[in-house]
Structure 1
Amino acid sequence: MLALIWSYNWIVMKQAMAYSGPFSFSALRYLLGTLVLFILLAARGESLRPPPLLLTAAIGLAQTTGFQAFVQWALVDGGAGRTALLAYTMPFWTVLLAWWLLADRPSARHGAGIAVAAAGLVLVLEPWHGLGTAQSAWLAIGGGLFWAIGVVLSKRLFARGGVSALSLTAWQMAFGSAGLVVVALLADERSYDWTGYFVAAVAYNAVLASGLAWVLWSYIVERLPTHVAGMTSLVIPVLGIGFAWWLLGERPDAAEAAGIVLICLALAIVNRRPQPQPR
C-alpha cells in the first residue's frame, strides 16, 4: 500500500508544479496532512501529549522539512522517475548512519543485497551519461540524506519505548510543516492556481501521501531493522519509473531496465526469510 501511494505521488508532485511553487505546495500538503493525523489521533483516543520534543523536532526538520523541500525543488527541472531514484539513495545513507550511530550492523546477506541494489542503482542512473540537470540531481540526493537522518533518529526514539508510530508521525510532521511554511514564505513564490487537478493533488497528498503513508512508514521503521526498512523502500522508485513511463512518457532504456531487475533481486535477497534451524 505504501509503495503504491508514494510511487504514484511522484507523478502527482511533478504535475502539481504547473499550479504552484514547489515550496508552497509542500507546505500546504504537509499542513493539511498534519491536521489529518491529529484528527486521527483524537479519533483513536490516543494521547495528544508530544513525544520527546528535541528529538521529535529534529526528525521533523530532517524527514519533513529537509527531505520534502529538496525533492520538490528537484522536481522543478528533474524528471519524476529520475528524481525518485536519486532521492531513494536514502537506504544507502541509512545503512551507513545506522551502523555508525545505532551499531546496527548489516548481516552478510543484507550486505550482499545492498551491493546488488547499488549496482542496480548505478545502471539506472547511468552516471557515464551525466545526471541530467546537476542542481536537480544533487537536490534529490540531498533529500535522500535528510530522509535517512530522520529514519535513524526515529529508530533511536522508538528504541526508548512509549511512543506510538501515529503520535510520532503527527508531531514530527507538525514541526516539519512549520519549517516548510518558513521556507515557502522566504521563497516568495507565486500564488496557487486552484484548478480541479490541483485540488485533487492537494487532497491526495494531504490524506494519503502525507497522512496515511507516513504513518505506515513510521510503523515499518518501528518494526523492522533499519537497513531492511530502508532497502525495502527501493520498490517505490521502481514503481515510480513505471508510472513515469506510463503517464509521462519517461521510458527507461536497456541499462535502466537491467538496473530495475537488479534492484528487484536485491529486494528478494534482503527480504528472504531465513530457513528454520533443525532441532
Structure 2
Amino acid sequence: MNKDRPDHAAFFLMAFTVLLWGFSWIVMKHLSHLIGPFDLVALRYAIGFLVLFVILLASRQSLRFPPFWLTLGIALFQTTAFQCLAQFALIAGGTGQVVMLSYTMAFWVLLFAWILLGDKPTRRHVLGFVLAAVGLVAVIAPWEGMSGGVLSSLLALLGGASWGLGVVLAKMLFQRHPNVNVLNLTAWQMLLGTLFTLPLSLGVPQMAIHWGSQTVVGLLYMGVMASAVGWVMWMMVVQRVSATVAGMSSLGVPVLAIIFAWWLLNERPTAVELAGVAFMLAGLVVVTLAPVTRKKLS
C-alpha cells in the first residue's frame, strides 16, 4: 500500500489545461453558427495532429506507434466517442446540461479506476465527490426540466462515461509502459481521432462551413491550443497523478466555462448556480489534496 503525494508540476499542468478547455467552450459556442459539429471535431484533431507531427519531426523524436490496443482504446473512447457523443447530445438538446453531464466523467473515472486499477477511494475522496455531486446537481438544476429531454441527457452521460474509461486506459498504459513519449502518444491520438470522426463528418448532414477570419481563428484555437497543447498537458497530468485526481480536476472546466460565459457573454448565473460552483470547487480541492490508497487486485 502506498500513497500518492501532491505533485506541484501536475497541479500547474491541470490549471493551465482547465484554462484552455474552459475557454474552448466559449470558442465552440461562437463557432456553432459557422461550422458543423462533426466538421469541427475532425478539423480540430487534424490541426492538432499536424502541429504535433511537425514538432516530433523538428525535435527528431520517434514516430513509432505506441502500444497498440491501449492507444486504440484511448483514441476511441477519450478522443472520439466523448466528443462525438457530446456533439450528438448538443444536436438533441441544450448546451448547458450537455456540458455539465459530459463532465460527470470525473465520477466515471472513480468507478473505472477502482475496478480496473485497484484505486480504492479514501474517505476524503468520497467527501470531495459528494460535495462536487451536490454542486453539479445545483448547476444542472434537473427540477427545472432537462432541455432536450432524455435522449440528450443519455448521450451526454455516455460521452462522460466514454471519456472516463479513456482516462483509465491512459493511466493503465502509463503504468505498464512508463517510458511512453507523451507527445508521440498524443499525436497518434489526434490522428486516430480525425480518422474515426471522418465518417460522421462526411455522412451526417451539417451546415456548410462559413469560411472567414473568425472561423479560421476559432479553428486554430481549437486545433492548436485546445487539442494539441491541451491534450498533451492532460496526458502529462494523467501520467503524473492518479486517475481519480486527474478526473476530478476536469470539473474545473465547466466551472471556468460558467465564469467565462458570465464575463464574456453576459450569461449571468443564478444564485443556485453560483452555490453549485462553490460546492464543485470545494470538492475539487478536497479530492486533489487527498492521498490515493492503491490496493492491487488479485
Per the shorter chain, which TM-score range? over 0.9
SS state of the match for residue 20, structure 1? Answer: coil
What letter is aligned with 1:267? Answer: L
- Where does residue 41 of structure 1 map in the other structure? 56
- Aligned mates of 1:35, 1:91 — CA distance in 2: 29
Match of 2:238 in 1: 221
TM-score, normalized by length of structure 2? 0.87
Structure-2 residue corresponding to 1:5: 20
RMSD over aligned Cα atoms? 1.7
Q: Secondary structure at 2:120's aligned position in 1?
A: coil
Deviates more, 1:59-68 or 1:181-190: 181-190
Residue 190 (str. 1) matches residue 207 (str. 2) = yes
The CA deviation at 1:79 is 5.1
Unaligned runs of 5+ in 1: 275-279
Query: Which residue of 250, 263, 267 corresponds with 2:280?
Result: 263
Could you say which residue in structure 2 is the equivalent of 1:143? 159
Partner of 1:91: 106
Aligned to 1:233: 250
Is the 2:96–2:140 Cα contact (8 Å) retained in structure 1?
A: no
Shift of 1:76: 4.3
Separation (CA, whole Å) in 1 of partners of 2:86 and 2:108: 16
For the pair 1:21 / 2:36, whether they are aligned, the reply is yes
d(CA) in 2 for partners of 1:242, 1:154: 30
Q: Label 1:10 to 1:74 Cα distance change in 2 as closer, same or farther (>3 A).
A: farther
How many angstroms apart in 1 are the aligned matches of 2:195 and 2:142? 36
Q: Which amino acid in the other structure matches residue 184 of structure 2?
A: S
For 1:197 and 1:140, the matched residues in 2 are separated by 28
- Are the counterparts in 1 of residues 109 and 243 from structure 2 also a CA contact under 8 Å? yes
Q: Shift in Å at residue 110 of structure 1?
A: 1.4
157, 160, 174: which one aligns with 2:176: 160
Deviation by residue 1:29-75 (Cα, 9 ceiling, x = unmatched): 11111111111222232210011122211211111111111223334
Aligned-residue sequence identity (percent) comes to: 46
Q: TM-score, normalised by structure 1?
A: 0.92
Range that drifts further, 81-90 or 46-55:
81-90
Deviates further, 242-251 or 84-93: 242-251
Aligned residue runs from structure 1 range 92-111, under 5 A: 92-111=107-126
Q: What does residue 277 of structure 1 align with? A: none
Partner Cα separation in structure 2 for residue 140 and residue 273 of structure 1: 28
Q: 1:71 to 1:248 in 2, by over 3 A?
A: farther
2:148 aligned residue: 133
Say if 1:80 and 1:240, in contact at 8 Å, map to a contact too: no
Aligned length: 274
Q: Could you say which residue in structure 1 is the equivalent of 2:218?
A: 201
Preserved contact between residue 124 and residue 290 of structure 2 (Cα < 8 Å): no
What secondary structure sits across from 1:49 in the alignment? coil
CA distance in 1, matches of 2:91, 2:213: 21
Alpha-carbon distance in 2 for matches of 1:120, 1:11: 21
> 1:67 corresponds to which residue?
82
- Using a 3 Å threshold, how does the CA distance of structure 1 residues 195 and 74 change in structure 2: closer, same or farther? farther
Code of the residue aligned with 1:151 in structure 2: it is V
Distance in structure 2 (CA, Å) of the matches to 1:254 and 1:84: 19
| Distance (whole Å) between structure 2 residues aligned to residue 99 and residue 178 of structure 1 | 31
The correspondence for 2:227, drawn from 204, 210, 215, is: 210
- Cα deviation for residue 113 of structure 1 reads 0.7
The equivalent residue for 1:179 is 196
Shift of 1:89: 0.4
| Cα distance in 2 for residues equivalent to 1:19 and 1:180 | 19
Shift of 1:77: 6.1
